[in-house]
Structure 1
C-alpha cells in the first residue's frame, strides 16, 4: 500500500457538520514530504475498517471533500464519495488495527480479509506526521483542546510553526465549513475510511495476516 493524494473537491458547496474522524490507516513505507504529492488521485472502490485504543493528535483540522473511484474512461472520473478529511501535524496511535475484505477471489479462494496491526502491547505507539484521512464513518469518544468550529477552510493554517491546513495540491473550497483544534484525543475508535496520506508513518510491532472469510475484521 502506498501513499495517495486527495482529489479535488467538485461539490464546492459541500459542507458537513463533521464529527472528528481521526484514526490513522496503515500505509506501509510512506516517506513523502508534505507538498511533494501529485494533485489528483482515485480511490480503490473499497472502504476499509480501522480501530484503535487511543489516538493523540496535534494541530487537528477537518473539512469536507470528495474521493472518486476510477472511471471506465481514463479521462473521466468514476463514482464520487463525500468524505470528511481530517488532518494532523503529528499523531500517536495505540493498538491500531486495519482490515479490508476482498470478496469473490478466483481459484476457489472466495472472500479473504487482510488484517494489519501495529502499536500494540510491548511496542511503541504508531507515529504519523502530516497525516490526512478520508473518512465516511466514525464511532468513539473525543476530547479537544482549544477547538474552533465553523472556520473557513482556507484559513485553517495559522502562523504557528508546524500547523497544517488544506492538503497541498487539493482543490477544497477555501470558503467551505471546517474546524480545527490544538489537540485531539480519541479513545475506543472505530471508523471506515476510503484513503489516507502521510509524510511519515512509523509502524512498530507490525503484523500482517490474511484469512478466509470476514471473522478477522478489526470490528
Structure 2
C-alpha cells in the first residue's frame, strides 16, 4: 500500500515515519535508563555522533577492525573497548535524509551530577577528538594480547591502558554496544537534523 493511501497530508506522513521510531526508541531506552537490560545496537549504513564533556574509563584497548552494514558493505573502523565507562553530559545524535527532509534523533543523558555509565562498552568509530590521558599505556602491542576481554586479530597493531580519561569527547561512530548502558537524566527528541557537534 502506498503511503499516500494511508494519509493525505505531509504532516500525516511525517507522523507515520516518526511514531514507530519514537515508540521503539522509548521502549528500549526506558529499560536502559533503569540499568536493567543489556543493549547492542548499530545504525545500519549510517554514522552517528557521540559527544561528552568527559569520559572516564578503566580497562581500555583499541585496534583496527571492520564495521559491516546489513547490506554487507564494510567500513574500516577503530574498535575501542572500555570495561567501565562514565560519560558526563553525554549526547548522541543521528540524522537521516528522507523524502521529507532531514529527520534526526537526539539523545542526552548524564547531564546532572550523576553521569551515564556503561559496562563492557565497545565502539566502532571512524573519528575521535578530545584531550586524552592514559595510565599505564602500551602502544604497539599485538591486538590479540590486549588487556581487555575483546581482542583484535593476531599480528594487528593495537594499544591498551589501565585507564583513559577524555575531556571534550567528540566521536563519529558506526556502532556502539554495551553489556549495560545506564542513561541517567535521559532525554530523547526527534529533531529536524540537530546534531551533538
TM-score by length of 2: 0.78
Contact 1:42 1:68 in 2 (8 A): no
The residue number in structure 2 matching 1:165 is 149
Displacement of 1:174 in angstroms is: 2.1
2:172 is aligned, of 192, 196, 201, to 192
Shift of 1:42: 7.5
Q: Does 1:138 align with 2:128?
A: yes
**Matches of residues 27-106 of structure 1 in structure 2 within 5 Å?**
28=29, 29=32, 31-32=37-38, 44-71=44-71, 78-105=72-99
The structure with the larger Rg is 2
Cα 1:43/1:102, change in 2 over 3 Å? closer
Instruction: List gaps (5 residues or longer) in structure 2.
Output: 1-20, 22-27
Counterpart of 1:156 in structure 2 is 146
Does the residue aligned with 2:106 lie in a helix, a strand or coil? strand
Matched, 1:129 2:109: no
How far apart are residue 43 of structure 1 and its match? 5.4
- TM-score for both structures, normalised by structure 1: 0.70
In the TM superposition, structure 1's runs of 4+ consecutive aligned residues that sit over 6 Å from their partners are none
Structure 1 unaligned blocks of 5 or more: 2-26, 72-77, 158-163
Residue 54 to residue 151, structure 1, CA distance change in 2 (3 Å): same
Structure 2 Cα separation of the partners of residues 186 and 42 of structure 1: 23
8 Å CA contact 2:42, 2:177 repeated in 1: no
Higher helix share: 2
Distance 1:42 1:186, change over 3 A: closer
